[in-house]
Structure 1
């Protein structure tokens, strides 16, 4: 099998700029000629093995970062945007999108921002949004989408916040029980914690925090740690928000809650000890849940964030969907990228999880680009704590490429080497290229359709 060539010009330029080196000085330390470095930085030539070794040995660079850039995410997002009917037949070929994502990622992101602004304007016009009729009304990015994309393009790993959470939960290298540790920390700040029969999970009244006494221990710990983040890490959170440069106060406020939640999850499942336990248990979610007194969803989500440079875990994707199939959480450290709008592929096992409560479903899946994955799905129910309170039901899915599958207990006895064992899945019907899918909801917008009234196959049309 031919080895895939590594083009990482943007990463090379970023590394050189961060080190404050000229091209000449950088080339000398890498042991290559100046023209050769210039060609690599412009993606005219692949990064050689010699340069990879020099980057690791001379600069201590985690070489996995060379291939972990935003290119795959950008390509996936651009393909979905270009499937919009407004572009008609003008969509560029996939090779051009990959070139743009590799050579001009800032331009690619600007295009995505422009399309997102257009899409929101179009939706506002369609719904006769009153704001467009007011003086001074402006088209702004949805705060929720802006925050979602912030975490998406950070690989859902915020290093400074993650390390601060680990220092809090493991002072002196020993992990403390999160609930009493959080209560004691808040008490030092003059904040009292009470467990009460309240309808929300958490409520703050002046210097008193009320926690739902009927919530599970994992939920109580998470809510307390969230408050610890806001009370003890405010300067760090605000500095992180300053760097993000959100376009509105609303987006900044949503992001601050997201960062506090990130701290809570990282403190509940501290990086080093959790990574070690994950490897020892072969990523058994139930055992990890028991070891750390965390929920299955918290464990699965945390596994997808283990992307610390120099100490990375298996690259996972994580997604949560509601009963309507809408994606409510999404993150991927793999080549699999989720649709920005709409639901997930109906052939994916995450939708079947609602039919088999409390059971893990395993699936071997293959995407149209030929990449194969091991997917693990399970339903998640969140009780409201009383008979009259609504029960929230979701399904979660965690997965990785099959090259990492042997590190998971769930891969045992599965036919990883059998091509027929893999279910063909897509990302979104709008951009999926499969012609014979019996679950296709809409035709692909990048292809022409052929309609024959005398012939009916799986679909009422043929995809050219």
Structure 2
């Protein structure tokens, strides 16, 4: 069997820079020559097994991460961007192959990011010019990432795991006195800071009045939501320095993006305190990732548990690599993250053949699906609706569905795999990422032609689709 050579110069150089060593000092601690290190950092030679062992022994480096993670996401994003009709002539003469994109992602990650930002800027400008209403109603003049997209990408490329914030939340949860709930402890900490917490029947989830130092939380919200909102406010106050330092490192391009990210990090702290890393990881393994049992165990919602499972990416103590997504009834993705090879489309909705869309039809039930993506990777996916009542008659209901999944190799560690025939080829449904970039030519549910393929239209014949996609 052929052995895959590991070229990871950018990751090696990033590791050395982070610990503040010169090439000479780094090479000495790794027990190799300076020219050899230089060749590896410039991807002229692969990273050897002896260097990987030295990285683990000398620096406690999680060697499983040196060739995975961000590169896969960058490759996926590059592949989707190159599917744009803008590059039609390029694809006619021969589009870059996956191995070429992987070399770019590994050898020149900064260049890859710059290309993706340039493509986003083009796409944003094109859409604003194409829509007169949008152009007239929008006051931003800067082409490029919207603040929301910038923050989304920040979490995406951090693998949805923020170590310093996660550990601070875990320490806070460990300080809860015996016999006291997490919510009561958070209330006591806020009281010590002069903040009074009260429940109030109101449409908003949370409201803070600085003049009276009163935090009002909706009495209509379920207990887990109330706890989460109290923890969120506590994070904004007691963890302001930590969150501020993290925001400084991120270097967001606009005050709006920084403000959105501040809320995002406070949300992250709240979720990590509600479901502290070490204890939650152990319980998840013990209960074979049963979302309902974990929700009851930690006083959390099913969505909170599913989202937390997708963030268990702490170096040296990783959970299973999951993807997590939340969609609304229109199929729009409102939350997304993947620690697997499956990467969600940046624009548009999810594949209509995916079971997450059917979850709205079966409220309160988990749906299981064995699926295979066009690249041949197989997954176990579970989906459920997580619609939220407004808490009183006549209040609007927010309707969402979530999906959580992992590659089929990990499926036996999930209770949801019990009774499924994981070896039967026909058990796996063919799904894609989105119609716009899906390579399947015979899909009966296709809504638009794939960008990277030509189509033929025959007015005298009609199949399932009004056109044929050329293979």
The TM-score by the shorter chain falls in which range? over 0.9
Cα deviations by residue, 1:72-101 (Å, 9 ceiling, x for unpaired): 111111122222222222143233222211
Which residue of the partner structure matches residue 93 of structure 1?
A: 96
| Counterparts of 2:231 and 2:137, CA distance in 1 | 41
| Counterparts of 2:23 and 2:245, CA distance in 1 | 32
Change (3 A) 1:424 1:38: farther
Question: Residue 89 of structure 1 contacts residue 446 of structure 1 at CA under 8 Å; is this kept in 2?
Answer: no
Which of residues 447, 450, 461 in structure 1 aligns to 2:456? Answer: 450
| Counterparts of 2:403 and 2:141, CA distance in 1 | 40
Which residue of the partner structure matches residue 470 of structure 2?
A: 463
Change (3 A) 1:346 1:19: same
C-alpha deviation, 1:48, in angstroms: 3.1
Which of residues 108, 121, 127 in structure 1 aligns to 2:125? Answer: 121
Which residue of the partner structure matches residue 280 of structure 1?
A: 286
SS at match of 1:160: helix
| Counterparts of 2:138 and 2:61, CA distance in 1 | 53
SS at match of 1:68: coil
Question: Residue 331 of structure 2 contacts residue 349 of structure 2 at CA under 8 Å; is this kept in 1?
Answer: yes
| Counterparts of 2:276 and 2:362, CA distance in 1 | 31
Alignment of 1:24-423 (within 5 A): 24-32=24-32, 34-91=34-91, 92-94=95-97, 95-128=99-132, 129=134, 137-171=141-175, 177-206=181-210, 207-423=213-429
Question: Residue 451 of structure 1 contacts residue 462 of structure 1 at CA under 8 Å; is this kept in 2?
Answer: no
Change (3 A) 1:59 1:414: same
Cα deviations by residue, 1:375-413 (Å, 9 ceiling, x for unpaired): 111111111011111011111000111111121111122
Q: Please say which of residues 182-191 and 113-122 is displaced more in the overlay.
A: 113-122
| Counterparts of 1:133 and 1:306, CA distance in 2 | 38
Question: Residue 384 of structure 2 contacts residue 403 of structure 2 at CA under 8 Å; is this kept in 1?
Answer: yes
| Counterparts of 1:71 and 1:53, CA distance in 2 | 22
Which of residues 433, 436, 461 in structure 1 aligns to 2:442? Answer: 436
SS at match of 2:208: strand
Cα deviations by residue, 1:164-195 (Å, 9 ceiling, x for unpaired): 11111112897952210111111111111111
Change (3 A) 1:153 1:172: same
| Counterparts of 1:402 and 1:348, CA distance in 2 | 16
Q: TM-score, normalised by structure 2?
A: 0.93
Question: Residue 118 of structure 2 contacts residue 144 of structure 2 at CA under 8 Å; is this kept in 1?
Answer: no
| Counterparts of 1:420 and 1:257, CA distance in 2 | 44
C-alpha deviation, 1:26, in angstroms: 3.6
RMSD: 2.2
C-alpha deviation, 1:282, in angstroms: 0.8
| Counterparts of 2:2 and 2:128, CA distance in 1 | 49
| Counterparts of 2:317 and 2:187, CA distance in 1 | 31
SS at match of 2:419: coil
Cα deviations by residue, 1:269-304 (Å, 9 ceiling, x for unpaired): 111111111111111100000000100000000000
Q: Please say which of residues 42-51 and 193-202 is displaced more in the overlay.
A: 42-51
| Counterparts of 2:30 and 2:307, CA distance in 1 | 38
SS at match of 1:364: strand
Change (3 A) 1:413 1:130: closer
Question: Residue 151 of structure 1 contacts residue 157 of structure 1 at CA under 8 Å; is this kept in 2?
Answer: yes
Change (3 A) 1:283 1:411: same
Question: Residue 295 of structure 2 contacts residue 302 of structure 2 at CA under 8 Å; is this kept in 1?
Answer: yes
| Counterparts of 1:130 and 1:353, CA distance in 2 | 36
Aligned residues: 463
Change (3 A) 1:426 1:387: same
> Please, which runs of 5 or more residues in structure 1 have no aligned partner?
none
Q: TM-score, normalised by structure 1?
A: 0.94
| Counterparts of 2:100 and 2:178, CA distance in 1 | 51
C-alpha deviation, 1:28, in angstroms: 4.6
Question: Residue 159 of structure 2 contacts residue 311 of structure 2 at CA under 8 Å; is this kept in 1?
Answer: yes
> Please, which runs of 5 or more residues in structure 2 have no aligned partner?
none
Find out whether 1:17 has 2:17 as its counterpart: yes
Q: Please say which of residues 140-149 and 125-134 is displaced more in the overlay.
A: 125-134
| Counterparts of 2:8 and 2:428, CA distance in 1 | 31
Find out whether 1:424 has 2:456 as its counterpart: no
C-alpha deviation, 1:5, in angstroms: 3.9
